[in-house]
Amino acid sequence: MRVLKKFPRPNTIKGQLHRALVWITFIIGLCIFIPTLYIEYRQTIQHQNEEMTQYLDAQTYFFESWLSERSSDIHTIANLDFVKDYNFEKSQAFFQDFKEKTDFTDLIFVNKEGIVQFDTVTEFSATGVGVGMDVKDRKYFQAAKKTKQPYITDILISKVTKKPILAFASPILNAQQQFNGVVFGAVNLDTIDQLLHESRVGFLGQAYIIDQEGTMLTEFNHKQQRSSGNYLVDEHILNAAKKSDLELYKDANNKRVLAKSKPINEGKWFIISEMGLLDAYKPLIIRILWITLCLVVGSFFTIKMMLHLSKKIEEPIQQLLTGVRKVEQGFYDYQIDEQQLAPYAHEFQELCSSFNEMSAKVKTDTILLKELSITCQLTKLYNRRYLIEQGELVFQKCLEEQNYCSCIAIDIDFFKKVNDTYGHLIGDEVLKHVANIITNSVRRIDIITRYGGEEFVILSPNTTLESAVKIAERVRKHVEHHPYHVDDVEINVTVSIGIAGYGHSKNISTFYELLDKADQALYIAKESGRNQLRVCDHTGKVDTSQML
């Protein structure tokens, strides 16, 4: 019986190439995977750091602007003549009306002895809980009395509502600049939470604000342990907030998060943004999974196929990466040439088309968001934020060029009666009707804004007070002579107008003072019978003796 010998399989070039391809693929895969993992991780951390920094910058700008506006509101009220003169009847009416137009939940008048004269929560109640209350031990009263400057408190418990609040205080100074009391406005923490939530665009994490002691000024979804009536964060969160670097720790819900902070309110508070690790690393995990899958699948192909595919993949990916970088740099209108990707796989063409659509949509949405932030959607006029931002710039330019600058404040007379009689839909149409008349009655250089409710403000650069009076009278007459018609109903509309101008009054040196004087003149016009003009004279006082 012949025994068949088993000869070893020949060590062929094909086998060597196969083994070499396996090892080469494996080594190349490791060489690609490990550095890619490290680079992707570093880029993810850097991207999250940049995203959180941008988010904090936006939140800080938004919140600091809000604090400045509210502090300016209280300071303006404290400098009103009837407030300084302790005219409580007029002050109470003004406080109540002003509160309804702002974020304040309560406005309080405190005399120089620290006794509450009235507030907008209790002044019309039967009990009058807050009236007569002694608040001279409050820090805001002591700070306003000592520094004679506006002051913003940390979180405190209201003696009237027994709820945690922030207080914006401003001293009342008499003609000799002596302390004569305090006006302060209270804001609930829910309002601050809502402000932070409304300014959150495209961010997956959450943000909250703490003071130097770790007391939370906002809540969001945190399950904080309450101590002495306040919400306190853990010590490690407070220490991380003071560093202002990207930190990894466990949040109040015992979940690991990436966090970054930034000081606000002159360093008195910190705004903290936190993002869960899963949300932060999800893009990295997805990219790593795809890379791993591609390496595993690619290991089954020959070097020739890998080279062929690499050419087919590399160029369109580079096009897309270039597009992504352009968009990241702010070139939202960047478009990839679809003709260059025509020879490649259909998926890349779809990605190119989707990228181009996304780029166009991002550009459109960016323009729309900017327009929405400065425009009243009902009247299509600029809103109060735009007036505050641009008004100061326009006024400063007039100061530098030594030109006149006038401000016209307009209020629709008895607008509440229109809403009550015809409904809010008709009231909105009346607002648009008046806005169109104002727009057609002024010049192109005039800045027209809907200041709030039924009040409009016209800022007229390079305009004397006399010219502003002519503009205002033209607006008043056009509104009076052009009633609003709906179906068979005619609604007669009139406006009251207050005018102030830089160049005549020595008491006007800032845009806010100009706006305040126009508002005071408007108030006198309404008190004097409406459908008329009132103007500040050369001393800065409101002329109540005649209608211009």
What's the pLDDT at 504? 57
Contact 498, 426 (CB under 8 A): no
Q: Look at residue 33 and give its three-state secondary structure.
A: helix
- Which DSSP helix (H) or strand (E) runs through 303? helix 303-328
Whole-number pLDDT of residue 541: 56
Q: What are phi and psi of 409, to 5 degrees?
A: -105, 125
Distance (Å, whole) CA 456 – CA 479? 13
pLDDT averaged per 10 residues, the chain (length 548): 54 50 72 79 79 81 86 90 88 88 88 88 53 84 88 80 83 88 87 74 71 75 45 82 82 82 85 80 80 73 61 68 72 70 69 74 70 82 89 89 91 92 91 93 91 92 92 94 88 94 75 91 93 77 48
How many CB atoms lie under 10 A from the CB of residue 127? 7
Residue 256 one-letter amino acid: R
- Residue-level pLDDT at 325: 75
HSE value, Cβ hemisphere, 13 Å, CA-based, for 296: 6
For residue 68, the tally of other CB atoms under 10 A from its CB is 14
> Do β-strands 533-535 and 495-502 pair in parallel, antiparallel, or remain unpaired?
parallel
Cα distances from 463 to residues 357, 466, 467, in angstroms, run 46, 8, 6
186, with CB counted inside 10 A (0-12, 13-18, 19+), is buried
Per the rule left: phi > 0, alpha: psi between -120 and 50, beta: everything else, 136 is alpha
Query: Are the C-beta atoms of residues 80 and 94 closer than 8 Å to each other?
Result: yes
Catalytic residues: 454
Q: Is the pTM of this model over 0.85?
A: no
Closest CA to 434 of 473, 471, 479: 479
Whether residue 366 contacts residue 332, with contact meaning beta carbons closer than 8 Å, is answered with yes
Asked if 386 contacts 433 with a C-beta cutoff of 8 angstroms, the reply is no
Question: How far apart, in whole angstroms, are the C-alpha atoms of residue 536 and residue 330?
Answer: 47
Contact at 8 Å (CB) between 537 and 479? no
Per-residue tokens: 313: 């993949």
